[in-house]
Each structure stands twice: as C-alpha cells, then as structure tokens.
Amino acid sequence: MRILVVEDERKVANFLQQGLQEEGFEVEVAYDGEEGSLNVQQKQFDLILLDILLPKKDGVTLVKEMRSRQITTPVLMLTAKSSIDNRVEGLDAGADDYLAKPFAFEELLARIRSLLRRGGPEKATSIKIADLQLDMVKHTARRGERVIELTGKEYALLEYFMRNANRVLTRTLISEHIWNYNFDTGTNIVDVYVNHLRSKIDEGFERKLLHTVRGVGYIMKEE
C-alpha cells in the first residue's frame, strides 16, 4: 500500500514516514500543500495523511481540489485543531476521517486500516499467486502451510511483485518504488533483497515464482 504524507512539521513527517515504513507501507512525504497537490495529480496512492494547516495551500483547499478532479483516494486529516467546527470543515471538504494531534500511533494505524478496508468488495484485502498468499490487512504471508516471516522492506517488495505479477520489473523501478530514490548503478541492494525474498518464498518448493530476467530485472509468475 502506498501512502502520501502531507505535513509541514518535518519532525512529525519523519516520524510518520519511519513508523509507516516499519509497518510495510510505501511512504512519500510532501512538506507543503502545493507539493502535496502535485504528488496527488502525478502519482497514485492508496491513502493520504493530510495536515490542515499547511504553507502555500491548506489541507481543506487541497481536499476540495482533489474531489473536484474526481480523485477518490481516502484522506485522513491530521491537525492540532480539535474543535467540532474544524472537524466538520475537513469532513465537508471531502476528507474521510479526522485525527487530532497529539495522537497514539496505534490509533493512527487502526484508522488507516479501517479506511483501506472501505474501498468495497472490488478492493481485495489479499493477493494470491499459485499457493503464495499475501494478507494486506494483517501484513502476513504464507506459501501453502508455511508462514513466511518478512521484514518491512521484504513485505513491501513482495507486495510490489505480487501486484505486478507477470510484469518484468527493472531494478530502477524496484529501487524507486521501494526505497524512493533514483537507482544507483553502483549498489546491489535490489539484488540482495530479491535474493533474500526468493529464498523465503521459493526455497523448498518445486514451483518457483520469482524469476530473474537477465540484464533487465525480475518477474513474478507461475511457470
């Protein structure tokens, strides 16, 4: 799942980014409303965490613009304002939920999970390829009867492969999607993580799912 955090307080933004990444989410951060608006228009996200009080463009304006463009991505508004009027203003603008600062991170996660489940029956909560299944609510994976223990990055990588099954993913795509930086040809971090993941999901099974496309990248598919 891909989350955009729009928060001008860098300490809060960094805390949210780190905490959500540790939970297996892919996170991008924008530090003002205009930057957030550009991200929303140019990229796809599963959920947006949006502060109301932002420089350049406030959160309420940003939500109104999103909804006017028929962008239906769930929005959870974060703000130090806690009065009923402020909550109503955010929700009337098109936000889906509201959380006042300071908040407990566990409550934030619960609200995020709730919003991600609201997508209706067309939004699956699990992905399955052959006998490999990923539960995107519980952030767990299993192949057959075997439970697969994954780190946060391994989970994100596996979800990316499974969401893009039968598609060749280049090292550059993987790097930018999972680590959010331009690919450095001098590092082998992608290969290292893919090899770790392959050993966990394929080792001991006759049918291999994660394959190398020489000179290009990797693909997940049933042979």
In this prediction the pTM is: 0.56
**Whether 207 and 139 share a structural domain:** yes
CATH of the domain at 31: 3.40.50.2300
**Whether 21 and 98 share a structural domain:** yes
Peptide linkage before 102 cis (omega within 30 of 0):
yes
pLDDT in the model for residue 141: 94
Query: 186: pLDDT confidence band, cut at 50, 70 and 90?
Result: low
Phi, psi of 104 (to 5 degrees): -80, 135
pLDDT in the model for residue 87: 63
Q: Between 33 and 43, where is the model more confident? A: 33
Mean of pLDDT over the chain: 85
* Residues forming beta bridges with residue 47, ordered by sequence position: 3
Q: How many CB atoms lie within 10 A of CB 94?
A: 18
Q: Of the candidates 94, 117, 140, which is a domain's last residue?
A: 117
pLDDT in the model for residue 86: 62
pLDDT in the model for residue 120: 41
**Whether 177 and 133 share a structural domain:** yes
Alpha-carbon separation of residue 206 from 154, 202, 203, 209, 222 (angstroms): 22, 8, 8, 10, 11
pLDDT in the model for residue 143: 94
Give Cα 24 distance to the centre of its chain.
Answer: 7
Q: Of the candidates 96, 117, 138, which is a domain's last residue?
A: 117
Domain that holds residue 155: 126-220
Mean pLDDT score, 113-118: 81
**Whether 182 and 208 share a structural domain:** yes
pLDDT in the model for residue 115: 87
State how far the Cα of 168 lies from the Cα of 213, in Å rounded to an integer: 7
Structure tokens that stand for 73 in this block: 């991505």
Across 77-91, 105-119, 129-143, which has the greatest mean pLDDT? 129-143
Q: Which residue has the tokens 């609200």?
A: 111
**Whether 151 and 177 share a structural domain:** yes
**Whether 76 and 56 share a structural domain:** yes
Tell me which of 12-16, 22-26, 186-190 is least confident. 186-190
pLDDT at position 37 over 50 = yes
Strand 97-100 versus strand 47-51 pairing type: unpaired
- Percent of the chain clearing pLDDT 90 (strictly above): 40
Query: 85: pLDDT confidence band, cut at 50, 70 and 90?
Result: low
**Whether 112 and 137 share a structural domain:** no
Q: Of the candidates 117, 145, 178, which is a domain's last residue?
A: 117
Q: How many CB atoms lie within 10 A of CB 45?
A: 20
Phi, psi of 26 (to 5 degrees): -95, 130
Mean pLDDT score, 207-211: 95
**pLDDT digit string (tens) for 4-20?**
999 999 999 999 998 89
Q: Which residue has the tokens 């003002």?
A: 32
**Whether 6 and 110 share a structural domain:** yes
**pLDDT digit string (tens) for 117-159?**
775 444 557 889 999 999 877 788 999 999 999 988 899 899 8
Alpha-carbon separation of residue 25 from 18, 79, 89, 205, 213 (angstroms): 10, 22, 28, 28, 26
Query: 209: pLDDT confidence band, cut at 50, 70 and 90?
Result: very high
- The angle subtended at Cα 159 by Cα 155 and Cα 71, nearest 5°, is 125
Q: Which helix (H) or strand (E) holds 171?
A: helix 171-179
Q: How many CB atoms lie within 10 A of CB 196?
A: 14
Query: 28: pLDDT confidence band, cut at 50, 70 and 90?
Result: very high
Query: 185: pLDDT confidence band, cut at 50, 70 and 90?
Result: low
